[in-house]
């Protein structure tokens, strides 16, 4: 069975500082990996995804994530955060015929 571990439940960071949100997964087969963001009182929005090809994937708002197969990780990074990045971030994995499995989420709080 697949599982996703988001190692930090809360991450406070000052505005314009870099941030890394950690995600590790377990699966015995090839996987597809996703990061979703949830703003207060909203649904989930797709931030970025790894399906195949380049292990480094980027979003349009400056986030990037790197698929590391040997470490079974898919950490999310941003070199300089904004107040508007305050939200909850979810890492998710699926493979084969299995449904999407989510981590517990990481609440990113950007402090002015």
Please report, as ranges, the residues that interact with another protein according to CB under 8 A: 32, 34, 36, 42-46, 49, 90, 94, 96-105
- Residues in contact with 99: Cβ distance below 8 Å, sequence separation at least 6, in sequence order: none
Q: How far is CA 109 from CA 9, 13, 15, 56, 84, in A?
A: 11, 6, 9, 25, 10
> In the complex with another protein, which residue's Cβ is closer, 7 or 44?
44
Cβ 103 to another protein shortest distance, Å: 8
> In the complex with another protein, which residue's Cβ is closer, 15 or 22?
22
> In the complex with another protein, which residue's Cβ is closer, 43 or 53?
43
Query: How are beta strands 10-14 and 106-111 bridged, if at all?
Result: parallel
Cβ 83 to another protein shortest distance, Å: 22
55 close to 64: Cβ distance less than 8 angstroms: no
Cβ 110 to another protein shortest distance, Å: 21
Cβ 84 to another protein shortest distance, Å: 19
């Amino acid at each position: 069975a697949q599982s996703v571990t988001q190692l930090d439940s809360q991450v406070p960071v000052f505005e314009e500082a870099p941030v890394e949100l950690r995600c590790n997964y377990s699966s015995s087969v090839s996987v597809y990996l996703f990061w979703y963001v949830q703003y207060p009182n909203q649904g989930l929005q797709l931030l970025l995804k790894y399906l195949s090809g380049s292990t480094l994937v980027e979003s349009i708002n400056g986030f990037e994530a790197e698929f590391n197969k040997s470490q079974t990780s898919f950490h999310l990074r941003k070199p300089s955060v904004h107040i508007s990045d305050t939200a909850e971030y979810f890492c998710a994995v699926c493979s084969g015929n299995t449904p999407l499995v989510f981590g517990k989420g990481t609440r990113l709080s950007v402090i002015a």
